[in-house]
Chains A and B, each alone.
Chain A
């Protein structure tokens, strides 16, 4: 019998070409979906994709969209997101997404095409020094120049992307490597010796941490994306442990969902637009338990005024995050889930042995926190006519509260911060936002990736009109794959966050922050085979949200909101946590804050 009919992927291993080797390695790594865009250098891979059925390819409309989609996919599933782009412009378009994934520690493997090895360095057509360009944009990158190393490189890339502190990895694939013949080798055949992230915490530091926690009078947990990245079990263990201790807890923007928002121990998000109670508790605490957060400048405010009287415990999987910005008393290197398990076990052991936390001090601490909570820092001026953006989100929250299948992505700006403040996350992996890089245009493609992973879920991109336009082309992808993504635009016609800073820092000179000639988003939705809805009055908000949810197709909602609304509370750049600005109607007596912003603060971003 002839062997000609065999499909390429089942041929003898010795006869596979590089593209087939790559695909087979992806399958072995459990990849189900690739987000990509073709071009000359990756045609062999696209040919191999055509001839198989195990991996589904999603054709985006711009490579930047592919990376954000893969990020959304990764963050909502805990799996590695996979991207495939061509050489030159395909690779350079992917760079923003790679840095975004790097800053937020999201596992991504990005395959980039490259000109054939003999042309590298010749300024060949669509040649770019992709490994050079992406070196500081990735956790690690590879240029494969030898087909015998190809399978190994793909396996290793997945290991690097998902282990330790996760991140993006690029594999640059010259076309001659994709077309050459080689042998497939499975992942078991290799082990990299130079890369061994530490997962288990040192028991000594765990004991010291629990010592501190037991002696605390004004403790607080401050947890971040590391807990989310460690898997849903880590969040569950955290919730249980926090409840056992009775300590208050705040989450970073990246960490929302690790502690159910409905829990009374949860103080909300902290940082620049965090709650009054979270920030003042951080300022006033005597023991801080940081798990998987990195003392980002958006969280700490002015460093020399950050939580001045506390002893700090910091657990992080990345030793370089510890003592980088803030000096801590008890450093713990390890995976967040394992650290929480170890802390909880040690806590139990001590309590069983008769250790007594200071219940009385803790009760006083909570009484203090309750007074801060009563300040009701998220209150805003209601209106019966004009839609307040906060109101739109409060209603979105209320209407979707009973559902267990809601996933939220965001763009970047005021709407993002309002979403973090007014939406309540009860579970991890339900909240996808660009934290570290703050990439406008993230939310729409990210929502697309989330919806691919969760076809029946309610996936909503809480958006600003300016950000939405940055990756609007992905509506075409959304239409092609019939993804019922909802784009919930809080349309203030301004780059609201820029306008807010101009109001506060630059004498209300709104330089270039107003967008003339915005598209008609309802018509735009229709042009992209989606449904467009618009609300212009407070009374229309509920119906619009209900209708959006009821439509089983992609929907763009044009919520026409108050153009001048500002996002509060706010800790101005360069200010301390206790120098927070509250909304114009704040009922508390103004102590500290709200003063003019210092020169030093002005230069900060």
Chain B
């Protein structure tokens, strides 16, 4: 392992049996081996087959990324590990709920910016808006950044979900 190897960001999808402890296995693997988790999402995607899909965004040298995939694949309840970053073009999306508490000109400005970002107001009171926004992580970062001076009160983000472009499936 060379210290000069570049650090890469990879998005990895993992298909697992939806059984107790599976998330702890995956998270424990990352913490135990000192790998980094930038984002992790999980939900059941096939109720009949009891399968869940975990999407992990991680960073590491190419050798570490290979290790992460091999280590994930070694877990007994894991069916498939797919490195979306390596395997061709893919789309990534994240959803965020952003609460802004303000009045007057700031309130109007937050609505205007939300419109530009195609964020929806899904809850509002006289003094607040809650926006729903989807997009890439950077887009959400940008939106949240703009809301800061406009009364940003709270953010809840899902983490990244991702899927390969085109006809390819996992």
Using CB atoms and an 8 Å cutoff, list the residues of chain A in contact with chain B. Answer: 131-132, 135-136, 139-141, 143, 160, 192-195, 303, 318-320, 322-325, 327
Contacts and interface: CB of A to CB of B under 8 A. Distances in A.
Given A193-B79, A323-B67, 13 more contacts: A135-B25, A136-B28, A136-B32, A140-B75, A194-B17, A303-B1, A318-B70, A320-B70, A320-B71, A320-B73, A322-B70, A323-B66, A327-B1
B21 A160 contact: no
Contact of B63 (A139, A141, A192, A327): A327
B109 to A, nearest CB: 49
A195 B20 contact: no
B76 interface: yes
Given A135-B21, A303-B1, A194 B78 contact: yes
Contacts of B78: 194
Nearest to B72: A320
Contacts of B137: none
B151 interface: no
Nearest to B63: A323
Nearest to B21: A131
A104 B144 CA distance: 50
B70 A319 contact: yes
A303 B74 CA distance: 25
Contacts of A136: 28, 32
Interface in B36-86: 63, 66-67, 70-71, 73-79
A143 B24 CA distance: 14
Interface of B: 1, 16-17, 20-21, 24-25, 28, 32, 63, 66-67, 70-71, 73-79
Contacts of B66: 323
B15 to A, nearest CB: 8
Contact of B24 (A135, A139, A195): A135
Contacts of A303: 1
Contacts, number: 44
B25 A143 contact: no
B155 to A, nearest CB: 31
B28 A140 contact: no
B169 to A, nearest CB: 17
Nearest to B71: A320
Contact of A325 (B1, B17, B73): B1
Contacts of A132: 24
A323 B74 CA distance: 15
B73 to A, nearest CB: 7
A325 B67 CA distance: 10
A103 to B, nearest CB: 13
B62 to A, nearest CB: 9
A132 B24 CA distance: 8
Contact of A160 (B73, B76, B79): B76
Contacts of A318: 70, 74
8 contacts: A135-B25, A194-B17, A195-B77, A318-B70, A319-B70, A319-B73, A323-B67, A325-B1
Contact of B74 (A141, A193, A320): A320
Nearest to A141: B21
A139 B76 contact: yes
A284 to B, nearest CB: 22
Contact of A324 (B25, B28, B67): B67
- A193, A322, A324: residue with the most chain B Cβ atoms closer than 10 Å: A324
Nearest to B24: A135
A194 B1 contact: no
A300 B73 CA distance: 26
Contacts of B73: 319-320
A140 B20 contact: no
Contacts of B32: 136
Given A323-B63, A327-B63, A194 B28 contact: no
Given A135-B24, A135-B28, A325-B1, A194 B79 contact: yes
Nearest to B74: A320
A135 B22 CA distance: 10
Contacts of A322: 70
A195 B21 contact: no
Nearest to B19: A142
A140 B16 CA distance: 14
B76 A143 contact: no
Contacts of A194: 16-17, 76-79
Contacts of A135: 21, 24-25, 28
Contacts of B25: 135
A194 B32 CA distance: 23
Nearest to A192: B76
